[in-house]
Structure 1
Amino acid sequence: MAETRSEHVRYRRFRPAVPVARAKARAVAEQWGLSQIAHSLEWVVTELVTNAVVHGRAARESRVVVSYHLEDDVLRVTVRDWASGTPRLAVPPAPAGDVPESGRGLQVVAALTADWGVTPKVIGKSVWAELPTTSTGGAA
């Protein structure tokens, strides 16, 4: 029978939450026997939580919720925030152009996951990404 697991973690919406969320992502991967995707999961959570914390406008003291859901051979991570704005992939700079210091987070997410997307909410949004837990299929 396929294994199903879920976990939800709430963070204050401020920059120090990012390394805490990153460490928790690694801990979830290790606890769930998914060490083969721990590094990718860390990066995905780092980028999505950073976007939720840094971009958009939300009420002071608002929260970010990171949810992990494992079903069969796919781990879905969702970052929910109550901020305005919709994340979009940045257009890469021209080869001879300057490389921007920010704006590449979703490109990292797209490269490390099998799929990702944004689900708009009445207030805010959820950004989700799926990582295969096996070596077949996907970019993990």
Structure 2
Amino acid sequence: MRIYPPEEFRYRRFRPAVKVARATARDVAHRWGLDDLADDLASAIGELVANAVIHGQAARGSHVAVTYRPIRHGLRVEVRDWATGTPQIHELADAERDFAESGRGLAMVDALSHRWGVIPRVIGKSVWCELKRRR
């Protein structure tokens, strides 16, 4: 099995970056021979980058960095932004669940990944998740 070096991509903080980040995630999965993770990876990256772009309160012109690292039986991805705040899974009440337009992103990341977490930084934070192959 080939070992790949980590890869990092930077995106401007604006909504079209989410689509580009999802496409890049699929590309990385395919190039690394992790085709079975491509859909889940693209979905997780889409949610994490969208959170950073839409909800992050960062300086104008700042970026979001996405780093992919191979791990045993899968990969780890880290989305770094320079915004304040700590992302958390929001529990939606039954009445809200069917009509809420947001608030499901981290719950989806939690469901798709083996594990995930948040690393506070001096400026900003990193949200990471690990996806494992289903063999």
For the criterion TM > 0.5, the same-fold answer is yes
Measured against the shorter chain, the TM-score band is over 0.9
Q: Provide, for residues 60-83 of structure 1, a one-character-per-residue CA deviation record: whole Å limited to 9, x for no partner.
A: 000000000002213000000001
CA distance in 2, matches of 1:109, 1:34: 18
C-alpha RMSD of the superposition: 1.3
CA contact (8 A) 2:4 2:32 kept: no
CA contact (8 A) 2:86 2:118 kept: yes
Q: Corresponding residue for 2:44?
A: 44
What SS is found at the alignment partner of 2:80? strand
CA distance in 1, matches of 2:74, 2:29: 12
The ranges of structure 1 where at least 4 consecutive aligned residues each deviate by more than 6 angstroms after the TM superposition are none
CA distance in 1, matches of 2:24, 2:73: 20
Q: TM-score, normalised by structure 1?
A: 0.90
Q: Corresponding residue for 1:110?
A: 110
Q: Corresponding residue for 1:12?
A: 12
What SS is found at the alignment partner of 2:84? coil
Q: Corresponding residue for 1:58?
A: 58
Q: Provide, for residues 72-108 of structure 1, a one-character-per-residue CA deviation record: whole Å limited to 9, x for no partner.
A: 21300000000111100001222xx132110000000
What SS is found at the alignment partner of 2:89? coil
Query: Where in structure 1 are there 5+ consecutive unaligned residues?
Result: none
Shift of 1:22: 0.4
Q: TM-score, normalised by structure 2?
A: 0.94
Q: Corresponding residue for 1:135?
A: 134
Q: Which amino acid aligns with 1:62?
A: S
Please state which structure has a larger fraction of its residues in helix: 2
Percentage identity across paired residues of the two chains: 54
CA contact (8 A) 1:4 1:71 kept: no
Shift of 1:135: 1.3
